[in-house]
Amino acid sequence: MPLSTALGAPRVVDVVPTLQTLRPEDVAGRVAVVIDVLRATSTIVAALGAGARDIRPVATPEEAQARLARLEASRGSREGLLLGGEREGFRLPGFDLGNSPLEYTPKTVAGKTIIFTTTNGTQTLRRAAGAHRTILVASFLNASAVAERLWTCPTGIVLACAGTRGWFSLEDTLLAGFLVDSLEKRAADSGAAVGDTSAAPGPFVFRDLARSAAALYRTLAGGSGEDLARVVVTADHARYLTSRGFGADVAYCASLDLLAVVPEYARGRVTLAAAGRRPVPNPRSG
C-alpha cells in the first residue's frame, strides 16, 4: 500500500515474520527495521556500540572473501579490516570473528570495518535494501533507542523479522512486539491515535500482525519486560545455540536497552545513525 508522507497522513505499522515473506512492496516508501535477535542484529549493534567504524553485510562467505580482497587491494593493506560471520551458528573457516556479540569488544573492533555474513540476518538486510529507503537495525540491546527513532519517522513502518530458515522465530517477534507496544503506549499518552489528525507527523495505524506481536510481548515478557530473558531462552533457536555452547550469547542478546545507538543501513554499509551510546556490559571487553 503506497503511503503519503504528508503531514497528518496515517503511518501504517506492519510486521513481516520471516525473511522469505519480505517483499519489495512491503518496504517501498517506508522505514524498514531489520530484526534478527539471535544473533546478527545483536552482533551488529554490539560491534558499532564497541566502536566499529562500519559493518558491510554480504550474502555469502565467498562474497565476503571477494569484498575483503577488493578492499585490501584498494587500500594496499588488510589493516583495519575484519571478516565476521557464521553458518550453522559457528565461525566460518578463515574468518576473524563469528556471530557472537561477545566477541565484538572495543579492543577487537574499534575503528575497524567488518565484512559480515550470516545465515539470515544479513540476507534480510540485503533484501530490505533499496533506493530511498531507511533501514534500521534493531535488537533488544538498543530497543528503546530504535522505538524513539520510529516515533518521529514520517512514513509507514515495516518490522522485518529474519526468522530461522524460513520459520517463525519467537525472539524476533517479541522484539517487534516491544517496538509496537512502545509506539502504542506513546501514541496513547500523546493522543496520536487513529482519528487525531492534529498529530504530527501523523497517527499510527497498527495492522493485525503488529497488534498481535505487541500482545504476545506483553503476555510473555511482562509489562516492563521483566520476564523477557526467561522467555527468550525457551525459543527454538535459543535452545539450539545453547546446545552448541552459546548460552552466554543468548542471555546477552535478551538484555534490554544496554545501548542507545541506532544503526542504519545505506549504500552497502551499516553505520550509526544516532550519536550517544552507553557502554556495553560485556564480560569479555577490554
Question: How does pLDDT run across 26-56, given as a tens digit for each residue?
Answer: 999 999 999 999 999 999 999 999 999 999 9
**Do 270 and 44 touch, CB atoms closer than 8 A?**
yes
> Which strands make up the sheet holding 157-161, listed edge to edge?
90-91, 81-87, 113-117, 54-57, 269-272, 263-266, 134-138, 31-35, 157-161, 11-16, 204-206
Residue spans of the chain under pLDDT 50: 1-7, 193-199, 275-277, 283, 285-286
Peptide bond between residue 279 and the one before it cis (omega within 30 degrees of 0): no
**Domain annotation covers residue 132:** yes
Note the pLDDT of residue 131: 54
**Domain annotation covers residue 71:** yes
pLDDT tens-digit profile of 2-14? 334 444 689 999 9
**Domain annotation covers residue 284:** no
**Domain annotation covers residue 286:** no
Residues in a beta bridge with 15: 159
Please name which of 78, 53, 59, 54 lies closest in space to residue 68, comparing C-alpha atoms.
78
Residue 200 domain boundaries? 11-272
CA dihedral 166, 149, 225, 125 (to 10 degrees): 20
Q: What is the pTM of this model?
A: 0.90
C-alpha cell at 220: 510473555
Q: Any idea what the CATH number is for the domain that residue 100 is in?
A: 3.90.1560.10
**Domain annotation covers residue 281:** no
- Number of structural domains (the chain) is 1
Note the pLDDT of residue 74: 96
**Domain annotation covers residue 215:** yes
**Nearest-angstrom CA–CA distance, 140 and 138:** 7
